[in-house]
Amino acid sequence: MIKGVIFDFGFTLFYFDNPSVERYYECFKKGLLKSIARLKEKQVWNENLTNEAFVKNFSKKREHFFRKSLKTKMEYPTSLIFQNVLESLKDEEIIDNLDNLTESAYNELAELYHSCEEDEWEPFENTKETLEELGLKNLKLALISNHPNHKTIKNVLKKHGLFKFFNVVVTSAKYGKRKPDPNIFYHTLKKMGLENQGNSVIMCGDEYADIIGAERANLQSILFERKYKFPFEKEINVSNLRKINNISEILDFLE
């Protein structure tokens, strides 16, 4: 008997209209300009520093941490990238001091950076009714997202009235490691009150990290097949892989 279901967030419960690399960059640039405006308000700025130079610095660091995360499988949260960028600008004596920046200020910068993305994610047509139906079945529901800012995921869920359906919401930003590391799944099971019961829990996601992670942690898995392919996707080699094309089809796998 199934006791719990864990969902992935992006392209499983939510979609981003017309996703493309250009669209992502455009969206993040918009967010980053908001973070820059906040830094100026807080007077953590220097008139010789241009927005372009800051964007360039930030992009370089983000790329650096992205490559590092591929190697280490760790998540480097966006707040940490801001801290890193600003500390190096201070070391180079471009910015005088960072005294106005507390931990919550770094979190706020990260939230602004992801604010455009927050507006773009929309739930699939059947997401809400499927979660409602699952909720009626006395199952534990959780979400695991590989995302560098915990608050962004929470905000999107709340904005669409879906946060209330989840017993547990885990992000790699908060936990520190990314799917497919089995530990993020063990951590989630424990928080669901289903420790060592992975074989009665279904993980549903749209990519390699979800399915292979679930296999490593001995969970059941179901692939949500996306309509479009992403570049550089890893092939999922799992025998008898169960697949669905509509999120509501998960209801057929609960017996």
Please choose, out of 6-14, 78-86, 92-100, 149-157, the segment that lies near Mg ion by the rule CB under 5 A. 6-14
Among 3, 6, 7, 10, indicate the residue that binds Mg ion (CB under 5 A): 10
- Judged by CB under 5 A, does residue 7 bind Mg ion? no
Nearer CB in complex with Mg ion: 37/241: 241
- Stretch touching Mg ion by CB under 5 A, among 70-78, 91-99, 109-117, 202-210: 202-210
Taking contact as CB under 5 A, which single stretch among the options 3-11, 135-143, 166-174, 176-184 is the one that binds Mg ion?
3-11
181 binds Mg ion (CB under 5 A): no
CB of 194 to Mg ion, least distance (A): 22
CA within 13 Å, CB half, 227:
8
Cα angle for residues 28, 33, 39 (degrees, 5° grid) = 125
Provide the token pair at 149.
Answer: 């800012």
CB of 41 to Mg ion, least distance (A): 35
Supply the DSSP string of 85-126, one letter for each residue: HHHHHHHTTSS---TT--HHHHHHHHHHHTHHHHHHEEE-TT
In the bound complex, what is the minimum distance in angstroms from residue 93's beta carbon to Mg ion?
42
180 part of the interface to Mg ion, by CB under 5 A: no
Contact 201, 232 (CB under 8 A): no
Q: Which of 3, 4, 7, 11 binds Mg ion (CB under 5 A)?
A: 11
Q: Is 138 exposed, middle or buried, given 0-12, 13-18 or 19+ CB atoms closer than 10 A?
A: exposed
CA–CA separation, 35 and 112 (whole Å): 6
Stretch that binds Mg ion, among 5-13, 17-25, 107-115, 175-183 (CB under 5 A): 5-13
Position among 8, 75, 108, 118 found at the interface with Mg ion (CB under 5 A):
8
Residue of closest CB approach to Mg ion: 10
Q: How far apart are CA 106 and CA 124, in angstroms?
A: 31
Answer yes or no whether residue 123 interacts with Mg ion by CB under 5 A: no
* Contact in structure between 43 and 100 (CB atoms under 8 Å): yes
Please enumerate in sequence order all residues whose Cβ is within 8 A of that of 74, keeping only pairs 6 or more positions apart, or say none: 68, 176, 177, 178
CA dihedral 163, 213, 12, 206 (to 10 degrees): 170
Smallest distance, Mg ion to C-beta of residue 173, A: 15
* Binding residue (CB under 5 A) for Mg ion from 108, 181, 206, 215: 206
Q: Does 117 bind Mg ion (CB under 5 A)?
A: no
The residues binding Mg ion (CB under 5 A) are: 8, 10-11, 206
